[in-house]
């Protein structure tokens, strides 16, 4: 019963998400260069998001819609990243000035 | 309505499968929405005028508490769906209840944070940085608030009807929504708070 209510995959996923949070905190604890800090944040955040998407949200479990879902999320991420980095490129990183 | 017994209840009819697909497409639109809010924040993060900057304003303690509470609630809603698939109605309802309670705690900490900020003179209209911060955090908090109401309504339906193709489908879609809010928070935690305190 306990094993069925707390499946090992979910428990491991939860512990991983806590460990990833702790790993992200290292940017405050250690005095690392800015680029390394940003690298740590990007890697831990992407891993956390993937954990939710694949393990908890079961994005790939329904065969008939699997491809559509992947394409939909990939396209949404593409639009989001272009919005964020395109805008930063123009307004912050100095292309316009 | 044709029931497909080889699939979990929430996928058992064609309508159910379409509803789940439709909700994923909505989540795609939500990704675009939050991307624009993050964009505004990243562009304006250094425009704090005469108000405080992120590193002066943020405190890691409450933010870590919010993160821990939301990660745990994402875990419990996952357990709720797992219990639902094993026909444990009571356990699933308890897990959904715990998820909503954790969501309430998250919201309480966030509201206290907002009070602290405003008390320190950091309001929506103090600077462009704070406007973009409050709009980003507020949109996420509003989503959590809506989730609390939505989840409560589902709990009432579950207690009345148990797990039918309809209520199982609603519960599953709610779990997708809740996990998504956790994903958005991870990015706020990393690129607003941790980056701001670096």
Q: The domain that contains B172 carries what CATH number? A: 1.20.120.80
Is B160 part of any domain? yes
Alpha helices in chain A (DSSP H): 2-5, 8-29, 34-50, 66-91
* pLDDT at residue number B55: 94
Residue A96 has pLDDT above 80, yes or no: no
B156 in A contact zone (CB under 8 Å): no
Residue of chain B whose Cα is closest to the Cα of A69: B24
Is B38 part of any domain? yes
Q: Is the ipTM of this complex over 0.85?
A: yes
Instruction: Average the pLDDT over B133-158 and give the result.
Output: 98
Is B3 part of any domain? no
Burial grade of B5 (CB within 10 A; 0-12, 13-18, 19 or more):
exposed
Half-sphere exposure of A50 (CA within 13 A, CB side): 8
Query: For the stretch B35-73, what's the b/e string if a residue is b when 16 or more beta carbons lie within 10 angstroms of its beta carbon?
Result: bebbbbbbbbbeebeebbbbeebbeeeebeebbbbbbbb
Q: For the whole model, what pTM was predicted?
A: 0.95
Is B4 part of any domain? no
Number of domains in chain B: 1
Is B72 part of any domain? yes
Residue of chain A whose Cα is closest to the Cα of B190: A41
Helices (H) and strands (E) in chain B, counts: 7, 0
Residue B193 is part of which domain span? 9-197
Is B2 part of any domain? no
Is B174 part of any domain? yes
- For residue A34, the chain B residues in CB contact (below 8 A) are 198
Each residue of B183-195: pLDDT tens digit?
Answer: 999 999 999 999 9
Each residue of A79-88: pLDDT tens digit?
Answer: 999 999 999 9
A45/B187 touch (CB, cutoff 8 Å), yes or no: yes
Residue B48 has pLDDT above 70, yes or no: yes
A24/B190 touch (CB, cutoff 8 Å), yes or no: yes
B23 in A contact zone (CB under 8 Å): no
Each residue of A11-33: pLDDT tens digit?
Answer: 999 999 999 999 999 999 999 99
A62/B179 touch (CB, cutoff 8 Å), yes or no: no
Each residue of A40-75: pLDDT tens digit?
Answer: 999 999 999 999 999 999 998 988 899 999 999 999
Q: Check residues B20 and A95 and name the one with the higher pLDDT.
A: B20
* pLDDT at residue number A80: 97
| pLDDT level of residue B1 (50, 70, 90 thresholds) | low
Is B156 part of any domain? yes
A80/B20 touch (CB, cutoff 8 Å), yes or no: no
């Amino acid at each position: 019963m306990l094993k069925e209510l707390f499946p090992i995959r979910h428990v491991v996923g939860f512990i991983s998400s806590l460990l990833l949070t702790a790993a992200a905190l290292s940017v405050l604890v250690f005095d690392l260069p800015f680029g390394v800090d940003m690298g740590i944040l990007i890697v831990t955040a992407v891993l956390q998001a993937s954990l939710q998407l694949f393990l908890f949200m079961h994005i790939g479990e329904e065969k008939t819609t699997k491809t559509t879902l992947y394409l939909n999320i990939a396209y949404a991420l593409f639009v989001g990243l272009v919005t964020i980095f395109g805008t930063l490129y123009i307004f912050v990183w100095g292309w316009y000035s | 309505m044709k029931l497909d017994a080889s699939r979990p209840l929430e996928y058992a009819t064609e309508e159910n499968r379409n509803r789940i697909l439709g909700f994923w497409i909505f989540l795609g639109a939500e990704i675009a929405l939050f991307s624009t809010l993050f964009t505004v924040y990243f562009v304006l993060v250094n425009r704090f005028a005469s108000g405080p900057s992120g590193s002066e304003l943020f405190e890691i303690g409450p933010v870590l508490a919010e993160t821990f509470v939301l990660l745990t609630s994402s875990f419990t809603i996952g357990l709720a769906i797992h219990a639902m698939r094993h026909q444990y109605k009571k356990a699933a309802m308890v897990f959904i209840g715990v998820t909503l309670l954790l969501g309430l705690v998250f919201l309480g900490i966030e509201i206290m944070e907002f009070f602290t900020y405003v008390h320190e003179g950091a309001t929506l209209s103090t600077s462009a940085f704070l406007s973009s911060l409050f709009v980003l955090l507020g949109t996420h908090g509003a989503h959590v608030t809506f989730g609390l109401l939505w989840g409560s309504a589902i709990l009432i339906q579950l207690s009345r009807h148990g797990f039918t193709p309809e209520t199982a489908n609603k519960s599953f879609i709610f779990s997708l929504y809740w996990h998504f809010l956790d994903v958005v928070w991870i990015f706020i935690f990393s690129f607003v708070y941790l980056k701001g305190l670096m």
